[in-house]
Chains A and B, each alone.
Chain A
Amino acid sequence: MNDTIHFFSGFRPADMVFLAEAAWRTLLVYGVSIFLGTVIGTICGWLLFEGRLLAAATLSPVLDIFRSVPLIIQLVLFYNFAPIVGLNLDPFASGVVILTVYTAALVANVARGGIEAVGRPMRRAARSLGMSYWQDLRYVVLPIGGRAVFPAWVGVALGVMKDSALVSVLGYVELLKASQILITRTQEPFLILSLAGAFYFALSYPISRYAAKLQQRWAQ
């Protein structure tokens, strides 16, 4: 009697491809979310700065909720309750929506800090040259304030990269979900998690290196 059913099998080269595809999906959900979240967060930060009382009374509490409630809860709630209001989104779209809002909530305060960092005298100097409000914002506040808060933004970006693993709870097969699938099949958690960690590192490291280089260049 040699008929044995094998539930488990070892790690195969094809699994590397599976992990790489999952890493690409992580990059996709992360890239879209960080881009949209940064744009929306910057607008929110500007509103917080300019809107003052009105923004503080309306926008601030909303952003506080998204910043404070654990991301995994936001993801599960949104994914399960969105269909009730007629939003039938797949796991990727749901992940992007929540990660974008979460990123925007974090970036809003960073952006407000950046605008505040420029200071009134600098802005008055720009306006005294005949620049309009928007020219001052585009050519003076954005580059100067942006550089001031760039390290904080990089921190947010790297944090969201790791947080994007939570999208796996929706069934989106990104890096963490792919690792779980492979661990179940191969029973080699140490190897698989090490590989997944290496992929996360490979995605994050270029960002932090490039950011460090940019800061070095600006400091000169």
Chain B
Amino acid sequence: MIEIRDLHKKFGALHVLKGIDLEVQKGEVLSVIGASGSGKSTLLYCINGLEPIHQGRVVVDGTDVHAKGTDVNKLRQKLGMVFQQWNSFPHLTVLENVALAPRIVRGLSMAEARDVAAKQLGHVGLGDKLNSYPNALSGGQQQRLAIARALAMEPDYMLFDEATSALDPELVGEVLDTMRLLAEEGMTMICVTHEMGFARDVSDRVAFFHQGTMEEIGPPAQIFGDAQSEHTRRFLANVR
């Protein structure tokens, strides 16, 4: 379980997260929606410790992410993350991209790491691209490569930071299909997204962020059909 209590985050004078309280249960799919600059992506960075926090706690399976002495590198193995930009390692083949972290972080042998990588690449539909270099792949394929790279660490949670925002419209579908597949397989996911269809159809709960606060959270039917907050209704009216 991921447990967030009174989370505050500032960038200089900018107060980006203003006291977030949130729990995400194992197996749950949570979509986080809201306008740009509302703190959605920062929330993910605070969850896996890529950004330090100013106040509050983030606890993953009983481990306080930001406590002194926490082995954050080890913790991140539980928290796969997919970014807006896919950030493939350009000097490595598709297979090596995925096999690198299992080998050097998990300590698998080269052969084991390559087996794990090939399996995950097959899982996301890139089984025929193992020896290609990332620059030979489309944006959608590179994003699926990023998903396979995160999955190869066998994480318990997956964090998606606007995974489809940088893609051409015709490539969005293949990445969303992969995310749907993971959700169906029971992966715990927190998805910061602008894809309202995905949030409505796939999520167990949807959280709406507004100016650094979590304005509203609930099942998709509530958020999309009967939002309590005026800000939520206005945001959804604008994006539809």
Interface on A for B, CB 8 Å cutoff?
121-122, 124-132, 135, 139-140, 143-144, 147, 218, 220
Partner of B101, one of A130, A147, A218, A220: A130
Smallest Cβ distance from A216 to chain B, in angstroms? Answer: 14
Smallest Cβ distance from B100 to chain A, in angstroms? Answer: 6
Q: CA separation between A128 and B153, bound complex, in Å?
A: 10
Partner of B105, one of A122, A125, A131, A140: A131
User: Do B76 and A125 touch (CB < 8 A)?
Assistant: no
User: Do A135 and B105 touch (CB < 8 A)?
Assistant: yes
Q: In the complex, what residues of B have CB within 8 A of residue A131's CB? A: 73, 101, 104-105
User: Do B76 and A122 touch (CB < 8 A)?
Assistant: no
User: Do B83 and A124 touch (CB < 8 A)?
Assistant: yes
Q: In the complex, what residues of B have CB within 8 A of residue A132's CB? A: 73
User: Do B50 and A124 touch (CB < 8 A)?
Assistant: yes
User: Do B50 and A128 touch (CB < 8 A)?
Assistant: yes
User: Do A128 and B105 touch (CB < 8 A)?
Assistant: no
User: Do A140 and B89 touch (CB < 8 A)?
Assistant: yes
Q: Is B77 an interface residue (CB 8 A)?
A: yes
Q: CA separation between A126 and B83, bound complex, in Å?
A: 11
Closest residue of A by beta carbon distance from B86: A125
Smallest Cβ distance from B49 to chain A, in angstroms? Answer: 9
Partner of A125, one of B79, B87, B90, B106: B87
Using A121-B87, A122-B87 as known contacts, say yes or no to A130 and B76 having CB atoms under 8 A apart. Answer: yes
Instruction: Convert B179-199 into 0s and 1s, putting 1 for each residue whose CB lies closer than 8 angstroms to a CB of A.
Output: 000000000000000000000
Q: Is B85 an interface residue (CB 8 A)?
A: yes
Q: CA separation between A218 and B90, bound complex, in Å?
A: 9
Q: In the complex, what residues of A have CB within 8 A of residue B240's CB? A: none
User: Do B91 and A129 touch (CB < 8 A)?
Assistant: no
Task: Report the 7 A-B pairs with minimum CB-CB distance, sorted nearest first.
Answer: A125-B87, A129-B101, A128-B81, A130-B77, A130-B105, A130-B76, A143-B91
